[in-house]
């Protein structure tokens, strides 16, 4: 069995390799050669923790396994990340455990890669201004991955505590891009691509604030009750997602489904666009929206890429198991 600890992963996998792994597995999901198993998420009644599993099988890549972990709110006080996760990969032919891989950095990379894949396939080719809504742990990963997909010149960003935007300003500087902290109305008025990555339970971005031709990647909503955009925006947009079942229950589209603004058939898997089975964006005026809910197969895809890289560079630890 191969062990790849958290500490070596940053030197192994790049945003580009994460992009390739996630794009491939979205395509496999849409071709029905990969599927996610039902998600388990439980409040365990200890340390205020939320714990669960995301799992699945990609028959094309022979990736079988799960990501196990969750949220421990007291971790920061112990010098640890509140979100903790580990990926377990199994041999699809024998069921033996193939690898154990640290899942914390990989979660951020695979989430940012999902938004980047949506931008690569759905945003207007001439997009110049990138808007980021949110400034938490994930936001800088999103900025790095998405900024590489179009010839962006400027970043506009909003956070409910604007002083937290300084980290994003630093990343924009590093990438040689202009940076402006703006109101949400101004962000919608300027941005050609918008990434929302917050833990909000109320709509922050409204349809009336978004200009024609924008691509919106909603990445924060991964649980029942969360919400980042209003139903006017959902109704105005052509809708895409990683997985329709998650989009309608725990993703950004859950609210529009409940009040019958949309039906599940209105949402297309991004993999269908990647595979050429759906045309994706059809005009420069169309608003496209990707509901990135986060699926277990994304975790397995990037973990498998890490195992290959660790083995090829001789930094994987192998144990008899
Ligand atoms: P974080 O706790 O580091 O940051 C949270 C961000 O949300 C901050 O910018 C904060 O200001 C903002 N926020 C919180 N409540 C808000 C509110 N009511 N109104 C406006 N802004 C609010 O979290 P993070 O690690 O950056 O993750 C952001 C979100 O993305 C989380 O909700 C997380 O569960 C989700 N997430 C989704 C995926 C996926 O695959 N879709 C993967 C990982 C994380």
Whether 321 has a pLDDT exceeding 90, the answer reads no
Determine the distance separating the centroid of ligand 1 and the alpha carbon of 109, expressed in angstroms.
15
Give tens-digit pLDDT for 245-288.
Answer: 999 999 999 999 999 999 999 999 999 999 999 999 999 999 99
Mean pLDDT, all residues of the chain = 97
> What local confidence, expressed as pLDDT, does residue 106 receive?
97
The residue whose CB lies within 8 Å of the most ligand 1 atoms, and thus the one to mutate among 103, 105, 136, 294, is 136
b/e map 187-225, b = 16+ CB within 10 Å = bbebbbbbbbbbebeebbbebebbeebbbbbbbbbbbee
To the nearest 10 degrees (0 to 180), the angle between helices 15-30 and 104-122 is 70
* Architecture of the CATH domain 2-107+297-318: 2-Layer Sandwich (3.30)
* Percent of the chain whose predicted confidence (pLDDT) is above 90: 97
ipTM beyond cut 0.90: yes
| pTM for the model | 0.97
Ligand 1 atom closest to residue 226's alpha carbon, by position in its atom list: 32
The residue whose CB lies within 8 Å of the most ligand 1 atoms, and thus the one to mutate among 220, 246, 250, is 220
Q: Is 217 helix (H, G, I), strand (E, B) or coil?
A: strand
Residue given tokens 């980021």 in the structure block: 132
Mean predicted confidence (pLDDT) in 86-110: 97
Give tens-digit pLDDT for 201-245.
Answer: 999 999 999 999 999 999 999 999 999 999 999 999 999 999 999
Task: Please name the residue whose Cα sits nearest to atom 36 of ligand 1.
Answer: 220
Mean predicted confidence (pLDDT) in 79-100: 96
Determine the distance separating the centroid of ligand 1 and the alpha carbon of 199, expressed in angstroms.
4
Task: Please name the residue whose Cα sits nearest to atom 30 of ligand 1.
Answer: 220
The residue whose CB lies within 8 Å of the most ligand 1 atoms, and thus the one to mutate among 112, 134, 135, 164, is 134
d(CA 85, CA 103): 5
Determine the distance separating the centroid of ligand 1 and the alpha carbon of 261, expressed in angstroms.
25
d(CA 271, CA 27): 4
Task: Assign domain 120-294 to a CATH class.
Answer: alpha beta
Residue 126's contacts (CB-CB under 8 Å, 6 or more residues apart) are: 150, 151, 192
Written as six digits, the tokens of 151 are: 């010839």
Q: Which residues line ligand 1 (CB under 6 A)?
A: 107, 111, 134-139, 159-161, 197-200, 204, 219-220, 222, 292-294
Determine the distance separating the centroid of ligand 1 and the alpha carbon of 80, expressed in angstroms.
18
Give the start-to-end residue ranges of the domains of the chain: 2-107+297-318, 120-294
d(CA 192, CA 188): 8
Residue given tokens 């008025």 in the structure block: 189
To the nearest 10 degrees (0 to 180), the angle between helices 166-174 and 139-147 is 30
What are the start-end ranges of the H helices in 31-103? none
Instruction: Just list the catalytic residues.
Output: 67
Task: Please name the residue whose Cα sits nearest to atom 32 of ligand 1.
Answer: 199
Mean predicted confidence (pLDDT) in 46-60: 96
Residue given tokens 């690569």 in the structure block: 120
Angle at 105 between CA 100 and CA 111, to 5 degrees: 110
Give the distance from CA 1 to its chain's centroid.
28
């Amino acid at each position: 069995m191969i062990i790849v600890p958290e500490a070596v992963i940053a030197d192994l996998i790049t945003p580009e390799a994460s992009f390739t792994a996630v794009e491939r597995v979205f395509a496999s999901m849409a071709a029905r050669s990969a599927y996610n198993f039902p998600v388990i998420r439980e409040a365990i009644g200890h340390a205020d923790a939320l714990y669960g599993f995301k799992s699945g099988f990609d028959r094309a890549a022979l990736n079988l396994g799960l990501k196990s972990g969750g949220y421990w709110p007291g971790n920061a006080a112990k010098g640890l990340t509140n979100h903790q996760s580990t990926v377990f990969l199994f041999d699809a032919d024998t069921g033996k455990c193939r690898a154990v891989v640290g899942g914390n950095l990989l979660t951020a990379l695979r989430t940012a890669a999902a938004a980047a894949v949506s931008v690569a396939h759905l945003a207007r080719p001439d997009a110049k201004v990138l808007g980021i809504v949110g400034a938490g742990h994930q936001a800088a990963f999103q900025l790095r991955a998405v900024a590489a997909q179009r010839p962006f010149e400027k970043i506009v960003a909003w956070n409910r505590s604007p002083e937290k935007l300084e980290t994003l300003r630093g990343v924009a500087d590093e990438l040689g891009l202009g940076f402006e902290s703006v109101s949400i109305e101004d962000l919608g008025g300027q941005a050609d691509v918008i990434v929302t990555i917050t833990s909000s339970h109320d709509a922050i971005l409204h349809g009336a604030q978004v200009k024609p031709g924008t691509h919106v990647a909603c990445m924060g909503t991964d649980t029942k009750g969360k919400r980042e955009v209003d139903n006017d925006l959902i109704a105005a947009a052509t809708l895409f997602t990683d997985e329709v079942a998650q989009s309608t229950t725990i993703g950004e589209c859950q609210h529009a489904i409940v009040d019958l603004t949309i039906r599940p058939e209105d949402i297309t898997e991004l993999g269908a666009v990647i595979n050429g089975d759906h045309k994706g964006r059809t005009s420069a005026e169309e608003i496209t929206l990707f509901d990135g809910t986060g699926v277990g197969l994304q975790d397995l895809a990037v973990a498998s890429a890490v195992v290959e890289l660790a083995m090829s560079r001789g930094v994987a630890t192998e144990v008899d198991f």
